[in-house]
Amino acid sequence: MTHLWVRAEERADEARVALTPEGAAELIARGFRVTVEDSPTRALPFGDYMAAGCEAAAPGSWREAPADAIILGLKELPEEDTPLRHRHILFGHAFKGQPAGARLLRRFRTGGGTLYDLESLTDETGRRVAAFGYWAGYVGAAVTLKAWAAQARGEICGRVAAHADRAALLAELTEEMGDVLRPDALVIGAKGRTGRGATDLLAAMNVKAQLWDKEETAQGGPFPQILGYEILLNCILAEPGGPVFVPADAVGMARRLRVIGDIACDPGADYSPIRVYDRVTSWAAPALRVHAAPRLDVVAIDNLPAILPVESSRDFAAQLLPYLTMLDRMDQGVWARARSAFERHAP
Q: Are strands 259-262 and 287-292 parallel, antiparallel or unpaired?
A: unpaired
Contact predicate 188/217, CB 8 Å: yes
CA–CA separation, 212 and 183 (whole Å): 17
Contact predicate 345/105, CB 8 Å: yes
The SS3 call for residue 237 is: coil
DSSP state of 105: H
Q: Which residues are catalytic?
A: 75, 93
CA–CA separation, 211 and 200 (whole Å): 12
CA–CA separation, 202 and 33 (whole Å): 43
| E strands in the chain | 3-6, 33-37, 55-57, 70-72, 87-90, 114-117, 184-188, 208-212, 231-234, 259-262, 287-292, 295-299
